[in-house]
Amino acid sequence: MFSNDSSPALTQMSKKDLLNALHHLYGNLLLGNILIGFSDSIDWNLVGTMIHEVRSPDVIFKTDLRPVFGSTTSLREDQPTMVDEFQKMLRRSVVAESFEVLTLYCRESAQMDQVKGLTWYQFARVLRNTVSHKRGELMNWPPEFEKKGIASVTWRHRTLDTGMEGKPLLMFDAEILALITDEISFVENFLS
């Protein structure tokens, strides 16, 4: 749906496609971290005078950046929040998309049994459900976990459990990168 590729037909994802997608998500999080590092050196006053144009095949969207970046006073106050929100958006996107693309591949290739019982996969699932909600808190423990008496899921040193419902969940970029690395390793070594 959000692809830049204009080809009309969707085909089943290959293992190579899956690995490429996971590697791109890994790279996106790293690139975001690099760009965030440059945020202090941007001439925000110059940016605040610009009109930005975004193009697609059928639409040209022009936006005036002055309301967002134009006021030096408000920018000094808002810049840390904007950078923090950008980082959160990137984390949410990478966590959700890596889980979704892995799940899609496993469903399409009839390999869900390979992954469904793994604790890190269930951890990633709960994490994906958490980041899909803007507040970033563990909303609801999966009902099928409750039915099976599963009160926690663990990946490496992190545990998510029923006592965390309604509480903010912090996941740092290094942990997200490690999770994607584990996903990539699993795909390379255990999926066909």
Average pLDDT, the chain: 86
The residue type at 121: Y
Alpha-carbon distance 98 to 178, whole Å? Answer: 12
The rounded distance, in Å, linking the Cα atoms of 26 and 146 is 32
pLDDT of residue 143 exceeding 60, the answer is: yes
Pick the more confident residue, 160 or 135: 160
CA 113 – CA 116 distance, rounded (Å): 5
Pick 37 or 6 by higher pLDDT.
Answer: 37
Which tokens go with 3?
A: 């692809």
How far is the first Cα of the chain from the last one, in angstroms, to the nearest whole number? 26
* Predicted TM-score (pTM) of this structure: 0.83
Domain ranges of the chain: 15-39+84-190
180-181-183-189 Cα dihedral, nearest 10 degrees: 160
For residue 73, pLDDT beyond 90: no
